[in-house]
Structure 1
Amino acid sequence: LKKNQRIYFLPLDSLNIMMKKIVLIGYMGSGKSTLAKALGEQHACPAYDLDDLIEQKMNCTVATLFESKGELYFRKVEHEILTSFLATHDSFILALGGGTPCYFNNFELYQSNEYSSFYLKSSVSYLAKRLRNEASKRPLIKDKKEDELEEFIAKHLFDRSFYYHQVNHVISIDSKSIPDLLDEINILLT
């Protein structure tokens, strides 16, 4: 040690999460972004949202990208940004978009032992209730009538089930608070 150099000791739980690459997946409206931010704040670990990273890189909203270039173009950009992010970041909490695991074999990118991945699983009715008020901001459901929303979500969950379950941990989120979910994730991380 050099003269006047300070040594800092971190609690073991903070050190444990600092050395992790945590990926949160789930359907739109499942709270991935909110939970990533809360988990990051709790452990002083950088938290990111893939949609935010895409918007910064493309200089437009995800909704605008969907409308102007189409979903296939969006998914290609999403894959490129996800691949680049995972290759260049050492410790993080990352909330993926609802469809991210299902395209370009993205789910394979976070399957190695260096990642802790969590599927925030929810019932169709719980998701529909959460999404009703924000449908205008969501390109895939903005034109859905209220009576079509649950059927649309149910079909999507069925189609995406294989990809969503390619994780280390599945957590049911229905009616759980953020502190409850944080506690559950922290137990699984130790």
Structure 2
Amino acid sequence: MIIVLIGYMASGKTSIGKKLANKLNYAFVDLDDVIEERENASVTKVFKTKGEIYFRKQEALYLRELLTTKANTILSLGGGAPCYSNNMDAVLNAENTTSIYLNASIPTLVEKLMKKKAKRPLIAHIETEEAMAEFIGKHLFERLQFYNQAELKVSIDNKSKDEVVDAIVSELF
């Protein structure tokens, strides 16, 4: 089975994905890591040097390849991946695949992203919590139509990573 984790940045797709993979004895794959390995450059550098259109084409190509694996895998997608190139359709139509939206409220995301914004070029320039909330709200509005197509939705609000993993496992099995 392939379990695909989707959600906004800082929703825990990577950290929860690794814990879930460990608990289920599945492989863990982060789509952004695959892109970086194959392109021999960071996601940020690929965006800067080759542009978003090139990045999104490669992202779609690698995603479709990963969706054909027969191994039990937790696959974490970048926050924008479900929103481009019919990627969400590819996930929903892939054999033996379940999609999970790690849902977080705007206040939860603001709290998490204000601490990590220096490492995230897209939001590094945002100074205040109010500006961050406005940015996230606009982005989420654009992305929710894709995120909400996931087969399962699990809230991360006010939960530890272990609690989220347990909630996922109880939903799946």
> Which category of TM-score, normalised to the shorter sequence, fits these structures?
over 0.9
1:137–1:74: structure 2 CA closer, same or farther, 3 Å change rule?
A: farther
1:124 counterpart residue number = 106
1:78 touches 1:100 (CA, 8 Å); kept in 2? Answer: yes
Out of 154, 167, 172, the residue aligned to residue 171 of structure 1 is 154
Normalising by the residue count of structure 1, what TM-score does the alignment of the two structures yield?
0.85
2:5 touches 2:76 (CA, 8 Å); kept in 1? Answer: yes
How far apart in 1 are the matches of 2:27 and 2:48?
30
2:127 counterpart residue number = 145
1:63 touches 1:137 (CA, 8 Å); kept in 2? Answer: no
Superposition deviation, residue 89 in structure 1: 4.3
Report percent identity of matched pairs: 42
How far apart in 2 are the matches of 1:60 and 1:133?
25
1:55 touches 1:61 (CA, 8 Å); kept in 2? Answer: yes
Which structure: larger Rg?
Answer: 1
Superposition deviation, residue 69 in structure 1: 2.1
2:27 touches 2:71 (CA, 8 Å); kept in 1? Answer: no
Q: Does residue 81 in structure 1 map to residue 90 in structure 2?
A: no
2:26 counterpart residue number = 45
Residues 137-189 of structure 1: CA distance to partner in whole angstroms, max 9, x if unpaired?
22322233324211110001011111001111111111201111111111111
What amino acid does structure 2 have at the position aligned with 1:134?
Answer: K
User: Unmatched 5+ residue regions in structure 1?
Assistant: 1-19
Aligned residues, how many?
171
1:8 counterpart residue number = none
2:15 counterpart residue number = 34
How far apart in 2 are the matches of 1:149 and 1:35?
23
For residue 70 of structure 1, give the secondary structure of its aligned residue in structure 2. Answer: helix
Normalising by the residue count of structure 2, what TM-score does the alignment of the two structures yield?
0.93
What amino acid does structure 1 have at the position aligned with 2:156?
Answer: I
For residue 28 of structure 1, give the secondary structure of its aligned residue in structure 2. Answer: coil
How far apart in 1 are the matches of 2:6 and 2:87?
11
How far apart in 2 are the matches of 1:66 and 1:139?
11
1:66 touches 1:139 (CA, 8 Å); kept in 2? Answer: no
1:122 touches 1:172 (CA, 8 Å); kept in 2? Answer: yes
Q: Which range moves more in the overlay, 58-67 or 30-39?
A: 58-67
Out of 64, 69, 72, the residue aligned to residue 45 of structure 2 is 64
1:63–1:89: structure 2 CA closer, same or farther, 3 Å change rule?
A: farther
